[in-house]
Amino acid sequence: MVRPRELVLQALVLGLVAWGLAFLLSTAKARMAAQGIPFSFAFLSQEAGFSLSEGLTWDPGQGLRPYLPSDTYWQALLAGFFNTLKVTAIGLLAASLLGLLVAMGRLSGNPLARGLAFGYVEVVRNTPLLLQLFVWYFGLLLKLPPWEAGLAWGGAYLSQRGLVLPEPGLSQGAWGPVLGLGVGYLLRKRGKWAWAGGILTLVAAWLLLGPPLELRPAEPGPFGPRGGIFLSPEFAALLFGVTVYTSAFIAEVVRGAILAVPKGQWEAALSLGLSGRQAFFLVILPQAVRIAVPPLANQYLNLAKNTSLGVGVGYPDLFSVYSTVANQSGRSLEAILLVMAVYLTLSLSISALVNTYNRRVALRWKL
């Protein structure tokens, strides 16, 4: 139970922090007013007038569409936020999978795999992320051949301009899952026949109409490949950099969590006749996840914030767009407050999702 004295002290500290922030903001606004620059966010509706190498923005009349120089400042910042969000979402998934693989290598009984994983972790963790981004961008991606002599395989193209992947799309076979669900719904009162009918309908539709998805490869054009999914070198460098860097830290978190599981759990699983692989994935790893989730949240937050280093390789993330907006409009204070609020919201959202999952997998003891 919290005592009144502690509540009073906490209220005083919170009040001092709020007063300090209000004092700093009011001082900045007064200095700006003295220079004839009133504090206002009205500049966000002005035309940006600069272009971005890539990015989508939101238009109330058209929805999501590519960003144009004629768009407003708030649409430019929104395009930068979408770019940051894209790298963060893909990077979180890729870093988690790569970190798990490296952690398994660190615990492997194979000396070569264990040594390679150890070297990977030590090299990546002990070099600055910005330096790694430079290696990915200037040392590797920009050394690729031009698109005329680029690498082409299976409808994908790799060159100095980036990576173009085949674009997935729906085919005629997309009716297969719909028909399968429909048949299963009609036979829902017949128990197992519903599953059998739905699966048979899905298989028949697959054989007659083909798979539900098809890959549409990019086609060569006079100025580069046309169609497909385009990944720019800047995006690839930032994504590879934050993924590799964060995966080294995630690997150590996962390795420590696996080692924290009592040895008796291994012995109990093996005594039940499970193989080593089954014991790891069915018994050890689920328990290690409960231990690893809290420290993993810190690594996920670091990945989201480290995307701001994309400015070093020319990727138009939120921080890069903020720099251009602040220099062009002269509204550095208003713009940095918006950027801080966006990063804070992004970090709190990731933290909330991780904490929600942590509560779901946490053990609950009933006394």
Q: What is the pLDDT of residue 102?
A: 95
Query: Hunting for tokens 């036979």 — which residue is that?
Result: 187
335 closest CA partner among 83, 22, 56, 28 = 28
Helix, strand, coil percentages, rounded to 5, for the chain: 70, 10, 20
Q: What is the pLDDT of residue 200?
A: 78
Structural contact between residues 246 and 302, judged by C-beta atoms closer than 8 angstroms: yes
Q: Where are the domains of the chain?
A: 56-143+235-361, 149-229
- How distant, in Å, are the alpha carbons of 176, 179, 186, 201 from that of 195? 14, 13, 11, 10
Whole-prediction pTM value?
A: 0.80
Query: What single-letter amino acid sits at 187?
Result: L
Beta strands in the chain (DSSP E): 56-59, 63-66, 151-153, 156-159, 162-165, 167-170, 213-216, 229-231
Q: What is the mean pLDDT of each run of 10 residues along the chain (367 residues)?
A: 77 89 82 77 89 88 88 93 94 94 91 94 95 92 79 75 77 72 71 70 75 73 69 90 96 93 87 84 87 92 93 91 89 88 93 89 63
Q: What is the pLDDT of residue 363?
A: 67
Give the number of other CB atoms < 10 A from CB of residue 356: 9
Nearby residues of 193 by Cβ (< 8 Å), 6 or more positions away: 187
Helix, strand, or coil (residue 226): strand
What is d(CA 225, CA 220) in angstroms, rounded to the nearest whole number? 4
Q: What is the pLDDT of residue 271?
A: 87
**Backbone phi, psi, residue 113, to 5°:** -65, -40
What is d(CA 257, CA 322) in angstroms, rounded to the nearest whole number? 39
Structural contact between residues 176 and 132, judged by C-beta atoms closer than 8 angstroms: no
56-143+235-361: which CATH architecture? Orthogonal Bundle (1.10)
